Structure 1
Amino acid sequence: MKWLSLTLALVAPSQAALRFGCSTVSIQRLDPLVEPGKIPSAHLHQIVGGNAFNATMGDDIGDRGTCTTCTFSEDFSNYWTAVMFFKHPNGTYKRVPIMQNTALPNGINGGMTIYYTQQDFSSNGNQKITAFKPGFRMTVGTPTATSKYGPGLKFVCLQNKGTRFPELDDFPTKPCAGGIMTVHHFPACWDGKNLDSPDHQSHMYNTVKDAFQNSGPCPASHPIRVPQVAYETLWDTTQFNNMWPSDGSQPFTLSYGDNKGYGTHADYVFGWKGDALQRAMDSSCMFQACENGRPLASQGVQQMNACQVKSTVDEDIDGWLTSLPGM
């Protein structure tokens, strides 16, 4: 996932690419896709995006949000992943904070880097990229996986915030000088009928091989090309580098007790206002060039950070914990 090759793959006209930051809107045990209505959900999530996020989100959150933590002020979507914890040799756990990507404006409150790209960075003909519809949602990965789940789900041992390779299928096995990045790539072929499915995945088809790599065309069963959605989350594991177990064992775990990382997963609920995402996909803008009305409205870091969702789950997630929240 080298930045140079990534950028060169996008220079052709009409290959719009959004890359933007979203600060944290909430960190709590809610999961309106997998466990709708359950308060609290089974494990802790890191959530960014619109403030309509709650345990029982309806069909069109784009119409109900009043603020968003994302750069693009018309994007009220929600994006979330499991939280990372450090397990101390004494058996206690500490939540790993997230940090902003170097590609994002300074001052963002943690958050994620979000991508919407065309053609999986591949030659998929000139097929039109169709924006998601109100009510659309999907997941990638599963917390129950006990081996590599599938392509596009990766860990990167950062030497610095600009490191993008090599990509690993599970947690790094040594301290990382710049932290750990998790990468989540979603499928980009839709069946054109269902906004969701019982497993939140069957309505989509994954053409991704790994990372931002070339991939094949959509199959007849899922013929509609939608934007390639991807998340990058940077975890500041450096503060724990001097606490690694003396036996050399890997001390990090995801919030549902996974110290391998095979169950890494992410959730997405579409919430762009009106035709904003379609306008972007129909343009030839790239990254920051899509901001300030060209063609998308954008906002500053102060406005992004000010948008918050109050926690509905009263529990300590920041101290040294005797067990993972919900475990």
Structure 2
Amino acid sequence: MGEDFSAFKALAGGVAALLIVTMVAPEVTGGQFDPLRLTKKKGRTTDPAPTTTTTDTSLSGTTTTTTTSTTTNSFYTEETMVPSNFDINTELVSATVPGSAAPDVVGAFRFICNAGQLRYDDPIVFPGQPGKSHLHQFYGNTTADAYSTYASLRGAGDSTCMSPLNRSAYWMPAMLNGRGSVVRPDFVAIYYKRRPITDPKCSLTSGDPQAEGNCVPLPNGLKFVFGYNMLDPAKTPTGSLYFNCQGTGAVPGTYPDLVTAAKNCPTGAQIGAVIKAPDCWDGKNLDSPDHRSHVSYGSYGDWGYYKCPSTHPYVIPAFTLGAWYTVDDTLDRSGTWEAGKTVTWSLSSDTMAGMTPSKPGTTFHADWFGAWDNTVMSMWMDNCINKMLNCSGGNLGNGKQMKQYAGFTWLASPRLVPVP
């Protein structure tokens, strides 16, 4: 399921204008998809105020108006849905329905981001404690900070990930050039993939002895950290993280750190930091004390087929994030490095106070705090994922596409900014 992120440029165009998805009754254990999570949560005695939604259920433009509850579903834990506080039609344009992702067995939904704010904040690890973390480069919601919650992310902010239809926050350690500047990425490519809900491997009750788990959409309010474990460095990093290179003179590869990647990435090329988010969830917790244990990764183990662990039986759409940076002469390409002597690029987490400097890039990790508009997430789930389409550039697979925000650029401008 590897990706060549340079292909995003050719596929990121803008198109599409109306919306919305047919509502399907949920039955997670039976493999049915509940796109808007509108069934009542067991044990709830009061519901939030209902909302009225105008829904375009087909490409013909036929619309229906329905009043629905915004309570969560009864099958797994999540926060109550917070609808967008703007007309989502204004953030959609017309698009061609993409083709099948076959021979791949998963549907794909891709989009492009630019760099957002730089903050010494981490709303997952240090909630409500601004300035306590190493310097982070944020993508997505422009209001994300130490105080962010699911409700605050859903309620405010533009997005550097195409549109405020995706108010999720994504962040990772800032890239530093060792000379007092932050290197901002030119662009960030993100893609979600998962098997279609109709695939027998998407349900533990389907009868398929090699089922991966029970496939579900991303629950409202889910958040996690993945990659190098800053809280327990002795643990093996998660997420198949690596560095790559593309462009004139580049030698692509899956390099374990910036020092190794730099030898194969000449000035003018782009070096990429690539990491995969978890694809399995316990179905109970939206966070955990270590911010990792509630999610996990599937594996082949000694049973010979890919599946989620029994402790995390829910299969969620997993995203891969790739941040791409233009290389200049400040990146040491000698292939050698010595702590305290070699001045080159590094991640902000590589040189945290009180820690022995790590080999540049080895502390690569990322965080995610979900805050998608449920209606739009239902679109790409119902079409790109569940119809196994090959969706790029925010194409929702239904003749609609998310707008790219007006400030988008393929090359960072400015590329270097002072370390705050």
Which of the five TM-score ranges fits, normalised by the shorter chain?
0.7 to 0.9
| Letter of the 1:170 counterpart | D
Pair 1:55–1:273, CA change in 2 (3 A): same
Q: Distance in 2 between matches of 1:43 and 1:97?
A: 16
Among 247, 250, 256, which residue is 1:160 paired with? 247
Among 260, 264, 286, which residue is 2:364 paired with? 264
Q: Distance in 2 between matches of 1:79 and 1:279?
A: 21
Among 288, 291, 301, which residue is 2:392 paired with? 288
**Corresponding residue of 2:256:** 169
Q: Distance in 1 between matches of 2:126 and 2:159?
A: 23
**Corresponding residue of 2:286:** 195
2:318 is equivalent to residue 228 of structure 1 = yes
* Superposed displacement of residue 261, structure 1: 2.3
Pair 1:291–1:78, CA change in 2 (3 A): same
What pairs with 1:1-327 in structure 2 (closer than 5 Å)?
1=2, 3=4, 10-11=101-102, 15-61=106-152, 63-87=154-178, 92-100=179-187, 112-119=188-195, 125-127=201-203, 129-141=215-227, 142-143=229-230, 145=233, 149-156=237-244, 158-160=245-247, 165-173=252-260, 174-175=262-263, 176-177=265-266, 178-207=269-298, 216-241=306-331, 251-256=344-349, 257=351, 258-283=358-383, 284=387, 285-288=389-392, 291=395, 294=398, 297-302=401-406, 318-319=417-418
- When Rg is computed on C-alpha atoms for both structures, the one with the higher figure is 2
Q: Distance in 1 between matches of 2:335 and 2:108?
A: 45
Q: Distance in 2 between matches of 1:147 and 1:202?
A: 12
TM-score (norm 1): 0.74
Pair 1:70–1:115, CA change in 2 (3 A): same
* Superposed displacement of residue 189, structure 1: 0.6
* Superposed displacement of residue 254, structure 1: 0.9
Q: Distance in 2 between matches of 1:62 and 1:95?
A: 25
Whether the 8 Å CA contact 1:79–1:266 is kept in 2: the answer is: yes
Which ranges in structure 1 are unaligned for 5 or more consecutive residues? Answer: 101-111, 306-316
TM-score (norm 2): 0.59
SS in 1 for 2:220: coil
Whether the 8 Å CA contact 1:124–1:216 is kept in 2: the answer is: no
Pair 1:95–1:303, CA change in 2 (3 A): closer
Q: Deviations over 1:182-238 (max 9, x none)?
A: 1111110111111111111101111269xxxx9711122111110011110012232
Whether the 8 Å CA contact 1:51–1:68 is kept in 2: the answer is: yes
- Larger RCO, structure (CA 8 Å, separation 6 or more): 1
Whether the 8 Å CA contact 2:226–2:237 is kept in 1: the answer is: no
| Letter of the 1:278 counterpart | S
* Superposed displacement of residue 293, structure 1: 7.2
* Superposed displacement of residue 13, structure 1: 8.8
Which ranges in structure 2 are unaligned for 5 or more consecutive residues? Answer: 9-98, 204-213, 352-357, 410-415
SS in 2 for 1:63: helix
